[in-house]
Amino acid sequence: MTGFLSRLLGGLPKGFTGRLAPDEAVATAAEVRDGGHLVATSLGLWVPDGDGPRRIGWHLVSKATWGGGAFVIVEAEEVERVGEAVLLADRPPRRFVVVAPGKLPQAVYRRVEGSIRSRHHRDLPGGGAWFVQRKVPGQDGTVLQVRSDPDTDLDVVRTIAAEVAAKMGQVNGLADS
């Protein structure tokens, strides 16, 4: 269903001012007590944000927890590219109290988990890092995301991320031949 059809069929809540992409389909939505809506679509989760709603791509939702009538969303920020890998840092958690969640918790869980193709934690000097291969909504292929633990040596993380991404590219190149 296209974004246009989603709007025609009532998938978007009344008063929602976000601009969906032409091929973006609405899965479900819920009203936020302090104003605005959380809207789960094929491309991401729309959240209320200052000047209006803003979409967080599913591949940038680090964590989404539901409990006590509220969603806590941790959004990742792409801070650096190392070869074909993307280094991430988590933004502070945001809490959204939802009036009536409906199917939103299940839809968010399904889409966040569905974007993950593989994940592995590796111990490194000073801590460690998560290496997560994810599907980016609306694009072909996957991206290697690397999120380091606090106090981990970032130079080591960069080196290993570049090596892993290069190996993944070689494997993918062989698979495509």
pLDDT tens digit string along 8-38?
444 799 989 999 999 999 999 999 999 999 9
The reported pLDDT for the residue numbered 139 is 86
What are the residue ranges spanned by the domains of the chain?
Answer: 3-170
Query: To the nearest whole number, what is the mean pLDDT of the chain?
Result: 89
* CA neighbor of 46 nearest in space, from 20, 70, 22: 20
Contact status, residue 164 vs residue 142, Cβ threshold 8 Å: no
pLDDT along the chain (177 residues), means of 10: 44 91 95 95 95 95 95 96 94 96 95 95 94 91 94 94 86 48
